[in-house]
Amino acid sequence: MIVSTPADKRRSPLESYLHVLHALILRDMRTRFGASIWGYGVVVLWPCVHIFLLIAIYTFQKLPAPLGDDRAMFFATGAVPVLLFQYISREVMKSVIMNRPLTYYPQVKLFDLIFSRILVEIVTGFLALLVVSSVLVAIGVDPIPSDPLTAVGGYIAAIILGIGVGTINVAIIGFFPGWMIGYALFSIILYVSSGVMFMPSYLPEKVYFWMKFNPALQTAEWVRSAYYPYAGLQVDYLYVIMFGLTSTTIGLFLLKHVVSKMQG
pLDDT, tens digit (0-9, with 9 covering 90-100), for 36-49:
666 667 777 777 78
Q: What is the pLDDT of residue 253?
A: 86
Contact 54, 70 (CB under 8 A): no
Q: Which of 66-75, 101-110, 135-144, 242-251 has the lowest mean pLDDT?
A: 101-110
21 CB-contact burial (10 Å; exposed 0-12 / middle 13-18 / buried 19+):
middle
Q: Is the pLDDT of residue 211 over 80?
A: yes
Q: What is the pLDDT of residue 9?
A: 55
| Residue with the larger pLDDT of the pair 95 and 236 | 236
Q: Is the pLDDT of residue 217 over 90?
A: yes
Q: Where are the alpha helices (DSSP H) in 34-138?
A: 37-60, 71-99, 110-138
| Residue with the larger pLDDT of the pair 105 and 222 | 222
Contact 164, 246 (CB under 8 A): yes
Digit-coded pLDDT (tens) for 55-104: 777 777 777 878 877 888 888 888 889 989 998 999 888 888 877 777 77
Q: What is the pLDDT of residue 174?
A: 79
| Most confident region among 5-19, 171-185, 208-222 by mean pLDDT | 208-222
Distances 249 to 91, 219, 253, 256 between C-alpha atoms, Å = 19, 20, 6, 11
In the chain, % of residues over pLDDT 70:
89
- Secondary-structure breakdown of the chain: helix, strand, coil percentages, each rounded to the nearest 5: 80, 0, 20
Q: Is the pLDDT of residue 264 over 60?
A: no
Give CA torsion, residues 168, 156, 223, 171, to 10 deg: -10
Give CA torsion, residues 100, 105, 111, 116, to 10 deg: -80
